[in-house]
Amino acid sequence: MIYNAINTFDLLNDACIRYTSVMSDTLGITYGTMCIVLYILIPLLWTAMLICSSRLLIISGCSIRNGVKYEDRKHRLGRILFYVGLGIIGATILFYAVTFCYVALK
């Protein structure tokens, strides 16, 4: 049981290393730069977008004036940041999927 878990972890580790090296070769940058971008900068970017979005949406709220839903600038900016954060996550997942297929077919 423990050997199976260790073997699975080792396979996942090898797959991540291979995946990152193929992505760095594809983009023409070094392996270390790709690790920093993939595993530090991009997650920080989408996390910051989603945190800012949630704070702006909590602060602004949404009020009703004269029977019409009113959104102020903070609320709109919060919604925009939310969708930008989701877009970054979606683009990252799509990039992972395309590169994974490239590695699998290679």
Per-residue pLDDT tens over the stretch 63-97 = 556 555 666 777 888 889 999 999 999 998 898 88
Spatial separation of the C-alpha atoms in residues 105 and 89, rounded to whole Å = 24
Model pTM score: 0.69
Contact 81, 53 (CB under 8 A): yes
Q: Which residue has the tokens 């900016």?
A: 77
Host domain of residue 78: 2-105
Q: How many domains does the chain have?
A: 1
28 token code pair: 């023409």
